[in-house]
Amino acid sequence: MAALLAATEVRWLPIAWTVLALLSVLGGLALVSPRLFATLALRGGRWVETDPLLNKLNTRVDIDELVLPHSRWLGAATLGAVATFGWLLLG
């Protein structure tokens, strides 16, 4: 893994840190306030209709009813993954 990170170009590191920061905010929100996380998920999960020719490729997979009841576990797992990837990026 260290060789992979050493081969990563420096210009991608700010993007990686930005993505990790955003994921840590979302994971923290899921951990601290499941109700607010569910509201954010419902508002952010709006469907955008596309070209009818692409309907076979563009199918909606709705996992909210599986994920939202366990949002605290999801938040803890997300924060753990962010911490792991952050540690790898620092190392």
For residue 51, tell me if it sits in a domain: no
HSE-up (13 A, CA, CB side) for residue 14: 1
For residue 49, tell me if it sits in a domain: no
Q: How far from each other are the two terminal CA atoms of the chain, in whole angstroms?
A: 10
For residue 46, tell me if it sits in a domain: no
In whole angstroms, give the CA distance from residue 78 to residue 71: 10
For residue 53, tell me if it sits in a domain: no
For residue 1, tell me if it sits in a domain: yes
Provide the number of structural domains found in the chain: 1
Global pTM reads 0.72
For residue 13, tell me if it sits in a domain: yes
Side chain identity, residue 40: L
Of 10, 7, 26, 21, the C-alpha closest to 85 is 21
pLDDT band (50, 70, 90) for residue 68: confident
Percentage with pLDDT > 70 across the chain: 76
Which pLDDT tens digit goes with each residue over 18-46? 999 999 999 999 999 999 999 988 888 77
